[in-house]
């Protein structure tokens, strides 16, 4: 095999190694910090998601490819939840999660991730490429849930981050006045 055929493996390997290295440096800097714990969770999910997604494109056996696609969106759910959780607790060392987080958001991520592993999300493979890879999968009603939940977590994360940035900028303005 030549370099170009292994470039995707090299890029996934280097990227996930860098993410892992950074995550453990941050975490071991202060293991009790809820922000550091949330960042470690997000980084670990990102690494797993990256490798599952990479593996998905390497498999040509239909059943395995369908399961790897399901695992990709399973970890995609947790990836979106992880970035939401990280921005939610950042920059706190300690944090008390409210009832909405404990009894709505966390269970929503759990239920959605379980649904992604079933035919409710991805029903069956419908078309293949000439090399045996999947071209088209029939989506079930669970894909709507997946899309909505991931959208909510990502938009929620961005909104939280923007609010925190604006709050910091506003406090800087008050200091200089």
Mean pLDDT by runs of 10 across the 177 residues of the chain is 73 95 97 97 98 90 90 98 97 95 97 98 88 85 98 98 90 64
Identify the pLDDT of residue 175: 64
Identify the pLDDT of residue 159: 98
Identify the pLDDT of residue 105: 97
Identify the pLDDT of residue 58: 86
Identify the pLDDT of residue 174: 62
CA–CA separation, 40 vs 43, rounded Å? 5
- End-to-end, the C-alpha distance of the chain in Å comes to 63
**Matching residue, tokens 């200089």:** 176
Residue 71: other Cβ atoms inside 10 A: 18
Sign of CA dihedral 30, 22, 97, 117: negative
Domain ranges of the chain: 3-176
């Amino acid at each position: 095999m030549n370099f170009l055929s292994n470039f995707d493996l090299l890029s996934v390997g280097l990227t996930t190694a860098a993410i892992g290295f950074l995550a453990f440096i941050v975490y071991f800097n202060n293991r009790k910090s809820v922000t550091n714990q949330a960042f470690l969770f997000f980084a670990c999910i990102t690494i797993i998601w990256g490798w599952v997604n990479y593996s998905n494109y390497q498999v040509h056996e239909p059943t395995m490819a369908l399961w790897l696609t399901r695992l990709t969106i399973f970890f995609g759910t947790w990836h979106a939840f992880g970035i939401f959780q990280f921005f939610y607790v950042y920059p706190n060392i300690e944090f008390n999660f409210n009832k909405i987080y404990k009894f709505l958001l966390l269970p929503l991520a759990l239920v959605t991730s379980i649904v992604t592993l079933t035919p409710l999300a991805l029903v069956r493979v419908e078309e293949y490429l000439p090399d045996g890879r999947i071209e088209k999968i029939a989506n079930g009603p669970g894909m709507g849930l997946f899309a909505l939940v991931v959208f909510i977590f990502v938009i929620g994360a961005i909104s939280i981050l923007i609010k925190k940035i604006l709050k910091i900028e506003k406090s800087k303005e008050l200091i200089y006045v």
